[in-house]
Amino acid sequence: MSASSIRPAAPADIAAVTAIYAEAVRHGTATFELEAPDAGEMRRRYDALAADGFPYLVAEWDGRIAGYAYAGAYRPRPAYRFTVENSVYLDPAAQRRGIGLALLTELIARCEQQGFRQMIAVIGDAANAASIALHRRAGFAMIGTHPDVGFKFGRWLATVMMQRTLGDGGVTPPR
């Protein structure tokens, strides 16, 4: 997948983003949401991230939106302002084609350009081997697991925490 297939998301992409996320909510454990949000709620979320200057990207493949990725605040307290949390979701038909890695790689680059120093991945379901492998390929390290913190599809699920340094990380003070 070429980098030219990755671009900033636009309001016109929200319908496709909503459909991709709805699939993940209804059939997967990458997210612990139980009800898929509608396009209006997804637009509100997109607008909030855009208003705060966080990168929100889409991947186009065969003329359609194949996936999306964004970064947002890791925690709301000011001391966390140089740390972001990432999210990556793909249309099931686009999985295992390098699109997730291309999205995550571009997201990392944009976050570094904006001066962020750490990126956190909170991966739903410790059995989500594909997401864990994706993050490892992108330079993330395992930092811990929270066992049995979510209950979905009739079973308890863990979250996996992974982290990647951006730019100088904690070596130098931020600007």
What is the DSSP secondary-structure string of 132-160?
HHHHHHTT-EEEEEEEEEEEETTEEEEEE
Please check whether residue 172 lies inside any domain of the structure.
Answer: no
| Over residues 40-57, mean pLDDT | 98
Quote the pTM value: 0.94
In the structure, what pLDDT confidence band is assigned to residue 56 with cuts at 50, 70 and 90?
very high
Q: How many domains does one find in the chain?
A: 1
In the structure, what pLDDT confidence band is assigned to residue 96 with cuts at 50, 70 and 90?
confident
With a cut of 70, say whether residue 4 has pLDDT above it: no
Please check whether residue 138 lies inside any domain of the structure.
Answer: yes
Please check whether residue 67 lies inside any domain of the structure.
Answer: yes
Contacts of residue 17, Cβ cutoff 8 Å, sequence gap at least 6: 9, 42, 46, 58, 65, 68, 89
d(CA 172, CA 74): 20
| Over residues 16-43, mean pLDDT | 98
* Average pLDDT of the chain, as a whole number: 95
With a cut of 50, say whether residue 2 has pLDDT above it: no
Please check whether residue 22 lies inside any domain of the structure.
Answer: yes
d(CA 84, CA 11): 22
Please report the pLDDT score of residue 3 as a whole number.
39
Please check whether residue 11 lies inside any domain of the structure.
Answer: yes
Write out pLDDT tens, residues 139-159: 999 999 999 999 999 999 999
Percentage of residues in the chain with pLDDT exceeding 70?
Answer: 98
With a cut of 60, say whether residue 163 has pLDDT above it: yes
Domain with 133 in it: what CATH number?
A: 3.40.630.30
Please check whether residue 45 lies inside any domain of the structure.
Answer: yes
With a cut of 90, say whether residue 138 has pLDDT above it: yes
Please check whether residue 174 lies inside any domain of the structure.
Answer: no
Phi and psi for 174 in degrees, rounded to 5? -70, 160
In the structure, what pLDDT confidence band is assigned to residue 26 with cuts at 50, 70 and 90?
very high
Domain that holds residue 78: 3-165
Q: Where are the beta strands (DSSP E) in the chain?
A: 6-8, 56-61, 64-73, 83-90, 118-124, 141-152, 155-165
Please check whether residue 145 lies inside any domain of the structure.
Answer: yes
